[in-house]
Structure 1
């Protein structure tokens, strides 16, 4: 009996139809991967999705709408790494090769569709990385989406 895990992804509306393709990871590195890996970043709450993006944007307030996606990931396809299992420096600001090496190893191993890791912003929230090239990725589904505006 597999439980559903709901995660959230906030992206620009122009990327909404391809929200799970991981193309962004091919063009730019993130905290948990080096450029060249297809990785989709999600969060354990809508609030963390907004916080993650606000931190990245700094004082810039987007005028164009974003889309908040609710995504269903079966619990049985998730690997979890708690802070105690991560190397020293995984939470460095700005991020470094330490956390990227962890994510790259996970993607390349194809160990699971999803990797749950701690957020650097809150102790109770988690980020969930998705590997869209994994053989079982078809089990991940977008359940809902809605417009999200920062300028209200």
Structure 2
């Protein structure tokens, strides 16, 4: 059984696992083009927090985020490394990563795709396709709070 973690602003807690913006208005990100709904998760809540903090800062996480947890059988996820060869310096090539994410969603490779983290060398993130026919097999939970120590924000 694989367990992954997703953090979302508390105001979007109820839509944590379905995307909190309509797919057609989704902004481009590391692994998706604008208009494609991919949910981002991480192997550990600490990595999920770090991934968000590069965009909003750690202080913004304190008391403002909910913690989503998904559990799934191993067969519901694939690893990018088993599907494509990673180009050298892939971290700097957002067009390549976005194209991979598009293929993952449109060709429905699997419900979840394991991809390397850009910010932590040996960390793993997970892309989730909520439109995949087997998405309902994920065991989803959302907790009201994501607890982070105030000292991380210099308090």
Alignment TM class, shorter chain as reference: 0.7 to 0.9
RMSD: 2.3
Distance in 2 (CA, whole Å) between partners of 1:65 and 1:58 is: 12
Q: Distance in 2 between matches of 1:151 and 1:123?
A: 24
Map 1:104-115 to 2 at 5 A: 104-115=102-113
State the alpha-carbon separation in 1 of the partners of residues 118 and 34 from structure 2: 20
Query: Could you say which residue in structure 2 is the equivalent of 1:148?
Result: 146
Matching residue of 2:153 = none
2-structure distance, mates of 1:21, 1:67: 14
Deviation at 1:149, TM superposition (A): 5.2
Distance 1:69 1:16, change over 3 A: same
- Residues 23 and 39 in structure 1, CA contact (< 8 A), matched pair in contact too: no
Query: Does 2:10 align with 1:8?
Result: no
Partner in structure 2 of residue 36 of structure 1? 35
Instruction: Identify unmatched segments of 5+ residues in structure 2.
Output: 151-155
TM-score, scaled relative to structure 2: 0.83
1:1-152 correspondence to structure 2 within 5 Å: 4-24=1-21, 26-58=25-57, 61=60, 65-82=64-81, 85-92=85-92, 96-148=94-146, 152=150
| Larger helix fraction of residues | 2
- d(CA) in 2 for partners of 1:132, 1:74: 16
1:121 to partner: Cα distance: 1.5
Contact 1:89 1:99 in 2 (8 A): no
> How many residues matched?
147
Q: Structure 1: which 5+ residue stretches go unaligned? A: none
Aligned-partner Cα distance in 2 for 1:27–1:45: 24
TM-score after normalising by structure 1: 0.85
Cα distance in 2, alignment partners of residues 105 and 21 from structure 1: 19
Paired with 2:16 and 2:58, the residues of 1 have a C-alpha distance of: 25
Secondary structure, aligned partner of 1:6: strand
